[in-house]
């Protein structure tokens, strides 16, 4: 993965180039050397400072998505090599079932409400994506990892919406399971 990303204009704000380059260098080393201390969750948790004229955020985020997919596939291949394909399928099925349990909750109650005054995601928007995920997990409805990663939700405040952090972590887990399937 190249660390030479498109930059924004010197009047716009982008990701801090040194931070992104250092992170991707560490990720590359981990991927090539199979360093177990660096995992796909490090990628989804990555955050960078900003600077004028930095790397284009959209381009870097897309590269991180591809890197996350590569780590998920590597983890799948390692698990199959170590424990066999049947074991891997059973583990993936179990993870999907745990995720599906939340989806089976009634619309409006799938995630914790935000605290008073806290920024939140619109419940109806999140529930619409959850309904698509139910169809994906139960009926094989076509859906891509990018559909989950690029989902955008309206904003609310307080208990009128779902807590953003809880939804984000859940969707990261869904994307990880989806990326593990060839």
Report, as an integer, the average pLDDT of 167-176. Answer: 90
pLDDT(1) > 50? no
- Cβ contacts of 145-150, under 8 Å, gap ≥ 24: 145/65, 145/69, 145/175, 145/178, 145/179, 146/65, 148/174, 148/175, 148/178, 149/65, 149/175
Residue 73's pLDDT is 83
Strand order in the sheet with 119-122: 155-157, 119-122, 161-163
Please give the model's pTM, rounded to 2 decimal places. 0.71
pLDDT(152) > 90? yes
């Amino acid at each position: 993965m190249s660390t030479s990303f498109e930059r924004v204009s010197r009047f716009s704000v982008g990701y801090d180039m040194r931070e992104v380059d250092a992170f991707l260098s560490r990720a590359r080393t981990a991927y090539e050397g199979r360093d177990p201390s660096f995992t796909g969750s490090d990628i989804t948790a990555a955050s960078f400072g900003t600077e004028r004229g930095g790397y284009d955020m959209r381009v870097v985020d897309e590269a991180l998505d591809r890197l996350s997919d590569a780590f998920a596939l590597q983890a799948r291949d390692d698990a199959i090599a170590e424990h066999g394909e049947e074991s891997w399928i059973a583990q993936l099925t179990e993870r999907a079932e745990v995720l599906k349990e939340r989806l089976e909750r009634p619309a409006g109650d799938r995630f914790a409400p935000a605290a008073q005054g806290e920024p939140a995601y619109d419940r109806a928007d999140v529930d619409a994506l959850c309904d698509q995920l139910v169809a994906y997990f139960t009926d094989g409805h076509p859906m891509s990892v990018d559909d989950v990663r690029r989902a955008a939700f309206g904003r609310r405040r307080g208990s009128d919406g779902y807590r953003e952090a809880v939804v984000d972590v859940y969707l990261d887990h869904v994307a990880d399971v989806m990326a593990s399937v060839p």
